[in-house]
Amino acid sequence: MDSMYARFKNVVVGAVVGHEVGSNHDYSSKNQKLEPKFPYSRPHFLNLDNEEIHISADHRLRPIIHPSKPLPYHAGYAECINAGKSRWNEDQAVYRQGVLTKPEVQFSIPYTYYGIFDGHAGVGAALCAANQLHHIIHEKLVDSQDDIWADFNGKRSVICKQIDLLVIGALESAFKEMDQLIAEDRTKYLAPGGCTACVALFILGKLYVSNAGDSRAILCNNNNFQPLSMDFTPESERDRIRRLVENQPSLIGDEFTSKEFLQPLKTVDLGKTVMFRDAHMKGWAYKTVEQEDLKSPVIVGHGKRSRLMGTIGVTRGFGDHDLYAIYTKVQIKPLLSCRPEVQVYKINSTDKNEVLVMGTDGLWDVVCCSKAAEIVQKSITSFSEKERYICAATCLVGFARGSLVNDHNWQLKNGKQASCDDISVLVIPTFPYKLEYEELCKKYNQKLSDS
Amino acid sequence: MSYAYLFKYIIIGDTGVGKSCLLLQFTDKRFQPVHDLTIGVEFGARMITIDSKQIKLQIWDTAGQEAFRSITRSYYRGAAGALLVYDITRRETFNHLTTWLDDARQHSNSNMVIMLIGNKSDLESRREVKKEEGEAFAREHGLVFMETSAKTAANVEEAFINTAKEIYEKIQEGVFDINNEANGIKIGPQHSPTNPSLPGATGSSGSQGGGCC
């Protein structure tokens, strides 16, 4: 197992260059003695014992683990560990059910929360998010529950905001607080690295997807799909980062240039005329190459290989408070963001087969959305309601993981490179939440007419 | 709990032959007439004693359904023993044995001990496969054979323990490289210099939160 681990360690592209704990994260020597806030574990709903946690971390076999007890409405989940890029599975997942209670009227609004977190450069941040973010979101929802209640009740006043804005606000402020908590905890606990966060909240007949990072949520229905999140990578966030750098050029230190060139420049290019654009520019123009231009561009590469300051491949999420650009003393955190993009979907489908699929980039690197929809559809038609979503999640992870060929290469069925990353997938039916909402309304109206 | 060796097993065979029920009978000593469909893989474990040595069996119970075949195939690697199960009341599960065996031989290490099991021996009146046929198949392919009943527990202990005995003998003969975990055999923690514990486990005992099995 360990030789496999060592072999893959150097060939797999991680979210952070220079990977493994501590390499470009700065910890003062006193921090080395700190204990983690949350010990390593797998998602609570898997109920794995220590031995099973070790089995799940076998890089040679990469077993696909799924819950042994059903999740709400038979929702599916499956995961498998990376092929050796890190000792432990740096993804985490969580689900919780909660209620917003209105004691005066003895009525409560239920909600269901799912989250996936893809850690990098350590397991700490993802564990903190998986264990704490739902508490923070719950607090934020409780803060707004009178307003949510007023809107549900149709007794909205002039100053009252509508439910969508209240829930979106709760999610946005919770994400900010989560990141701050990780920052504050640095003096008390060991929590290396950072993580992405993709959260789904089912409440009052709607689905709110709150995403920061490159995990992804899509709706699948009969071989069709609809994205409910966007990926935040150096490439997709070029504009946000360019604007930041434009306003505060000191953020990139002396090591980087805010200019973009069509090709990487070398010393021999000095004096040549090349096409460029600077942070303040939308379009492209020509300039003569000076010494200054030979610095590394703040964003390099494309797609999965795009990197911010040559170091990190994801630009939103939690943690990374001590992350420095590789080989430099330039802090990266100021260019990162914990702000989520929240999409709202009113569950209006009359189709029982509609599901929400959430996955970490280990899935999406090798499975496109339409392929995912196809795999889900196949499971839905082949298995009974009780099993179909777990089967769908298992098949999605199985497809992305592929199989080990010649003892060293994980391949998809078509022979292409399979995912060597940690893979986590949730498959959640949406229809029951529509029914749940209709039930709730009925119950409330009954209550009104009774009184 | 400490053990001298850990053997990894895999249970394979068509869907509905009773793989999960055999495991449940072996680990929990109970029978569940209606069992949920196994998806992918489930794990079980039990301690046994051979030659006055504690041996831990770590058992991977796989899905028999075709849909999971490509996933479960990857689990053969690194198993020291396999229980290949068919249902004596369903001829087609016996007919598929060759496919299972080819798959197992192709994807496992060559020393893996394979035990052929004809399950549901309690359903004598519905028998479709004669015991002699099972014996002949086992002889032809160099397997150990046994008929079991997960319901009455007949031969269930024996099936798991005899497989372990075979593996143990092979270790004594030096056939298995016990230092290579890829063979599905692990030397117990007290015998092994390295005992990787989970990160964040306080203390070096690595026994936080319960313990194994």
Joined together, the tokens standing for residue A129 give 């998010």
* pLDDT at residue B192, rounded to an integer: 53
* Residue from the list A36, A49, A387 with its beta carbon closest to the beta carbon of B37: A387
* Contact between B198 and A68 using a beta-carbon 8 Å cutoff: no
ipTM of the predicted structure? 0.87
Mean pLDDT of A199-220: 97
Contacts of A63 in chain B (CB under 8 A): 40-41, 60, 75
* Residue from the list A38, A379, A404 with its beta carbon closest to the beta carbon of B74: A404
Q: Where are the alpha helices (DSSP H) in B9-90?
A: 19-28, 69-72
Distance CA A250, CA A257 (A): 11
**Residue type, position A120, single letter:** H
Contacts of A391 in chain B (CB under 8 A): 39, 67
Q: Which three-class secondary structure state does DSSP give residue B22?
A: helix
* Contact between A49 and B74 using a beta-carbon 8 Å cutoff: no
Mean pLDDT of A335-347: 97
Distance CA A344, CA A119 (A): 25
Distance CA A379, CA A381 (A): 5
Q: What is the pLDDT of residues B112-126, one digit of tens each?
A: 999 999 999 999 999
Mean pLDDT of B135-162: 97
Closest chain B residue by Cα to residue A399: B71
* pLDDT at residue A158, rounded to an integer: 66
Instruction: Tell me whether B1 touches chain A (CB under 8 Å).
Output: no
For the ranges A29-33, A157-161, B201-205, the lowest mean pLDDT is seen at B201-205
Distance CA A112, CA A94 (A): 11
pLDDT cut 70: percent of chain A above it: 93
Residues 6+ apart with CB under 8 A from A101: A107, A108
Distance CA A62, CA A401 (A): 8
* pLDDT at residue A18, rounded to an integer: 57
Spatial contact of A192 and A121, defined as CB atoms under 8 Å apart = yes
Distance CA B162, CA B65 (A): 27
Q: Which of A383, A167, A266 is nearest to B40 (CA)?
A: A383
Distance CA B43, CA B52 (A): 25
Contacts of B39 in chain A (CB under 8 A): 66, 387, 390-391, 394
Instruction: Tell me whether B66 touches chain A (CB under 8 Å).
Output: no
Mean pLDDT of A193-218: 97
Q: Which three-class secondary structure state does DSSP give residue A354?
A: coil
Measured over the CA atoms of residue A55, residue A59, residue A62 and residue A66, the dihedral's sign is: positive
Distance CA A273, CA A130 (A): 51
Q: How many CB pairs under 8 A join A and B?
A: 90
* Contact between B67 and A413 using a beta-carbon 8 Å cutoff: no
* pLDDT at residue A7, rounded to an integer: 44
* Residue from the list A36, A53, A63 with its beta carbon closest to the beta carbon of B41: A63
Q: What is the pLDDT of residues B44-88, one digit of tens each?
A: 999 999 999 999 999 999 999 999 999 999 999 889 999 999 999
Distance CA A305, CA A283 (A): 23
Measured in Å, how far apart are chain A's first and last C-alpha atoms? 66
